[in-house]
């Protein structure tokens, strides 16, 4: 029997990571942050001094980068070439470059293959990203597309960064809009809502309310989840 998969997609700041980790913890499932994998690949490419706006160079550099993701929702890990990059991948340097790296077809093909291997090895998993329901796990029994207005997304992202000043929130909102435009328009695996995904607007919901709703939907879509462990 294939592992149960809950797919969470949506733009940056919509609450995917916190929701996915909370749901996985609540249901005893594994967890995978696919965005962290693309950030880890971006970090590795930058460390090699590659021009991230040169897709041929990025594809060549990324071919032998070793990406390893931990799947414990309470203590997720991410490493590139044996280096713990959980901190470095959240820097502005990586944030500014990740869309360029993640739209390279060879990068996406390689990481999607790794993501599918992780699914197959799990007893059940919650995945979050931008193409889970459309590309990585199109047969997932539960697909959700999380959204939130730009102001809410920017405030959340700024808070994560420990910055609440109005100017920083405004700059973050502009950055998110640029990222949305790039991710939605790329040729390979663009950010998109799967036809059978349930859209969940998190703008005015607390994290606990969002997790409760996803768990409720999971109970209907995958009734045997209660006995699954990570």
Closest CA to 106 of 53, 60, 42: 60
The confidence band for 145, taking pLDDT boundaries of 50, 70 and 90, is very high
Asked whether the beta carbons of 44 and 229 are under 8 A apart, the reply is no
Asked whether the beta carbons of 139 and 90 are under 8 A apart, the reply is no
Asked whether the beta carbons of 143 and 9 are under 8 A apart, the reply is yes
| pTM score | 0.85
Identify the pLDDT of residue 190.
76
Identify the pLDDT of residue 173.
74
Q: What is the 3-state secondary structure (H, E, C) of 6-70?
A: EEEECCCCCCHHHHHHHHHHHHCCEEEEHHHHHHHHHHHHHHCCCCCCCHHHHHHHHCCCCEEEC
Closest CA to 133 of 1, 21, 10, 15: 10
Asked whether the beta carbons of 117 and 67 are under 8 A apart, the reply is no
pLDDT in tens, 186-217: 677 677 899 999 999 998 899 999 999 999 99
Would you give the end-to-end CA distance of the chain in angstroms? Answer: 16
Identify the pLDDT of residue 164.
64
CA pair distance 15, 13, nearest whole angstrom: 5
Give the pLDDT mean for 66-90.
96
For the chain, the average pLDDT equals 89
The confidence band for 228, taking pLDDT boundaries of 50, 70 and 90, is very low
Residue 23's φ and ψ, nearest 5 degrees, are -65, -45
Residue 149: CB partners within 8 Å, gap ≥ 6?
203
């Amino acid at each position: 029997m294939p592992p149960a998969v809950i797919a969470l997609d949506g733009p940056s700041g919509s609450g995917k990571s916190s929701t996915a980790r909370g749901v996985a913890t609540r249901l005893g499932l594994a967890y995978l942050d696919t965005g962290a994998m693309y950030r880890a690949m971006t970090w590795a490419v930058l460390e090699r001094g590659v021009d991230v706006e040169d897709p041929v160079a990025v594809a060549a550099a990324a071919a032998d980068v070793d990406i390893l993701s931990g799947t414990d929702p309470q203590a997720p890990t991410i490493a590139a070439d044996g280096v713990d990059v959980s901190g470095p991948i959240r820097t502005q340097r990586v944030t500014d470059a990740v869309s360029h790296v993640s739209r390279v077809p060879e990068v996406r093909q390689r990481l999607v293959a790794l993501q599918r291997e992780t699914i197959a090895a799990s007893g059940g998993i919650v995945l979050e990203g931008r193409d889970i329901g459309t590309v990585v796990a199109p047969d997932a029994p539960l697909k959700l597309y999380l959204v939130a207005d730009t102001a809410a997304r920017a405030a959340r992202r700024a808070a994560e960064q420990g910055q609440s000043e109005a100017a920083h929130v405004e700059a973050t909102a502009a950055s998110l809009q640029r990222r949305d435009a790039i991710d939605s328009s790329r040729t390979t695996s663009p950010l998109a809502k799967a036809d059978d995904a349930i859209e969940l607007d998190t703008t005015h919901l607390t994290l606990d309310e969002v997790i409760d709703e996803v768990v409720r939907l999971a109970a209907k879509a995958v009734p045997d989840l209660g006995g699954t462990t990570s």
